[in-house]
Amino acid sequence: MFTKVERLISFRNLRPKKKEGFLKIISIFSFLGIMLGVAILIIVMSVMNGFKTDLTKKILGLNPHIVIQPNSYIIENNYISKLKEDFKGISVNKSFSGEGIIISNDNAKGIFLKGININEQRSIDFLKKSITSGDIKTFKKNYVFIGTELAYNLNLKEGDNISLMSSAFVATPLGSLPKQESYKIAGTFNTGFLEFDQNIVFLNIDDALSIFDKEEKDLNIEIYLKDPLDANSYKKKIEKINPNFFIYTWSDLNKSFFSALKVERNVMFIILTLIVIVAAFNIISGLTILIKNKTKEIAILKTLGLSNQSIKKSFFLTGFSIGFFGTISGVILGIVFSYNIERLRIFLSSVFNLEIFPADIYFLEKLPSEINFSSISIIFILSLTVSAIASYLPAMSISKMKTFRALKYE
């Protein structure tokens, strides 16, 4: 594509003379600007991808992929059998959940009560993976598991007694009062998702029905899929079987959150791309000044028989080389930082005594990062394209130069 002469001229342009020190400064700033722009883009996109992936994993670890609520109708066993028959590979569980209040040591807090069936393997596996204290064997009637953050906030530990109050009302001589029952803490769990660890209490499914004054016919059906991203397509198919039931997916519950996250990611990408574009303007200005300074040399090359096309290609290669090596350096720097961003966060937090990634705001205990090579490829191609355009525009001006004017006073 480029001849030896064109590469030689380009290489000489990249090493300006001492009297052209200003060009060297512009070239260095162009290189650094593109490198930092690409690196920052990769780091930010990696953090955003990791944030979304970690949150999705936490949400899917605690929530079913599809929930079917009776909606004043009764879910018959033959309906469940038909679901298993029509949709092979799905896991179907029964559960019940609702809002309530935990009362202990003169403290009270609004929580989410979730009843689970300890005979279902998925529920057992989740609890075993998350338990920080206690034993799954003790999780029986009148025993509950609470999040570590909730236990810390209310000064509770394994074996303590608590009272749970639900939104169901019971008739008493004093009138209708919220139903309240006593339980013992079987242990604590830590999902790594602060919002859940602060607000969820797991109890036996029979206890859940009791405290909400419900019967077995009121149980919800929870469906778990092999690929949670297929939840919406499964939802449409399930609705056709019986439209009387209320059906929703995990994405329905978190639609606004993930939509906001997607918009924020796209906006960040557009804003940070401006760094690369601004750096590209340095290439344009640097090449423009270089071509003006090299007017006589260009005229001599034309006189010696070098074509306009070859000269343009050599100056294009000069600017593109800055963009290319800046992009490569930025990709390497961005990947290295992305892999070690949590270590860097810990180091900066300890040195400057700052909470850089507060868990109570961002819901996660550590700064997530997920390197997506398709995103890196897009950033790489985008940076090279911007560099190519920035290099091409000044090079085009060479064809307009008049050789005899440049050599008139030589």
pLDDT per residue over 18-39, tens digit each? Answer: 555 566 777 788 888 888 888 8
Strands 246-249 and 66-69: antiparallel
Q: How far is CA 341 from the centre of its chain?
A: 14
User: Cα angle vertex 325, ends 310, 290, to 5°?
Assistant: 45
397 vs 94, more confident: 94
pLDDT at 401: 62
CB neighbourhood size of 401 (10 A): 16
For residues 113 and 98, is the Cβ–Cβ distance under 8 A? yes
pLDDT in the model for residue 360: 55
SS3 content of the chain, % helix, strand, coil (to 5): 60, 20, 20
Spatial separation of the C-alpha atoms in residues 131 and 148, rounded to whole Å: 9
173 class by beta-carbon count within 10 Å (0-12 exposed, 13-18 middle, 19+ buried): exposed
- Check residues 130 and 169 and name the one with the higher pLDDT: 130
Task: Report the chain's terminal Cα–Cα distance, integer Å.
Answer: 33
Is the distance from CB of 205 to CB of 94 less than 8 angstroms?
yes
**Helix residue spans in 181-249 (DSSP H):** 194-199, 205-211, 231-241
Q: Closest Cα to residue 131, out of 151, 114, 148, 150?
A: 148
As a whole number of angstroms, the distance between CA 179 and CA 46 comes to 47
Angle, helices 231-241/77-86, rounded to nearest 10 degrees: 130
What the block records as the tokens of 148 is: 């570590």
In this prediction, residue 61 has a pLDDT band, given cuts at 50, 70 and 90, of low
Domains of the chain, by residue range, sit at 4-56+257-406, 91-224
In angstroms, the Cα distances linking 391 to 161, 246, 313, 386 are 73, 59, 10, 9
According to the model, what pLDDT value does residue 315 have?
A: 76
Token reading at 371: 């390197």
Q: Which of 38-42, 63-67, 145-149 is predicted with the least confidence, judged by mean pLDDT?
A: 63-67
Alpha carbon distance 208, 189 (integer Å): 19
Q: Which residue has the tokens 């609520």?
A: 69
Instruction: Decide: 366 and 193 in contact? Cβ < 8 Å.
Output: no
pLDDT above 70 covers a percentage of the chain that reads 85
Q: Are 3 and 312 in contact (CB under 8 A)?
A: no
The top-scoring range by mean pLDDT among 6-15, 215-224, 307-316 is 215-224
Confidence grade of residue 321 (pLDDT, cut at 50, 70, 90)? confident
pTM, rounded to two decimals: 0.67
Q: What is the mean pLDDT of residues 224-253?
A: 83
pLDDT band (50, 70, 90) for residue 191? confident
Residue with tokens 């950033």: 379
Q: Residue 359: count other Cβ atoms within 10 Å of its Cβ.
A: 16
The predicted structure's pLDDT at residue 405: 56
Secondary structure tally for the chain: helices H, strands E: 16, 10
Count of other CB atoms within 10 angstroms of residue 320: 23
Nearest Cα neighbor of 56 from 237, 261, 338, 199 is: 261
Task: Answer yes or no: are the C-beta atoms of 220 and 96 closer than 8 Å.
Answer: yes
| In the predicted structure, residue 285 carries a pLDDT above the cut 90 | no
What is the pLDDT confidence band of residue 342, given thresholds at 50, 70 and 90? confident
User: Mean pLDDT lowest for which of 17-21, 62-66, 81-85?
Assistant: 17-21
Residue 364's DSSP bridge partners are 193
48-62, 100-114, 263-277, 358-372, range with the lowest pLDDT: 358-372
Mean pLDDT across 112-129:
77
Whether the per-residue pLDDT at 85 is higher than 70: the answer is yes
Q: Report phi then psi at 368, rounded to 5.
A: -85, 155
Using an 8 Å Cβ cutoff, are 391 and 283 in contact?
yes
Q: Is 187 left (phi over 0), alpha (psi -120 to 50) or beta?
A: left
Mean pLDDT of the chain: 79
> Which amino acid belongs to residue 103?
I
Question: What pLDDT does residue 332 have?
Answer: 93
- The structure tokens listed for 289 are 């000044």
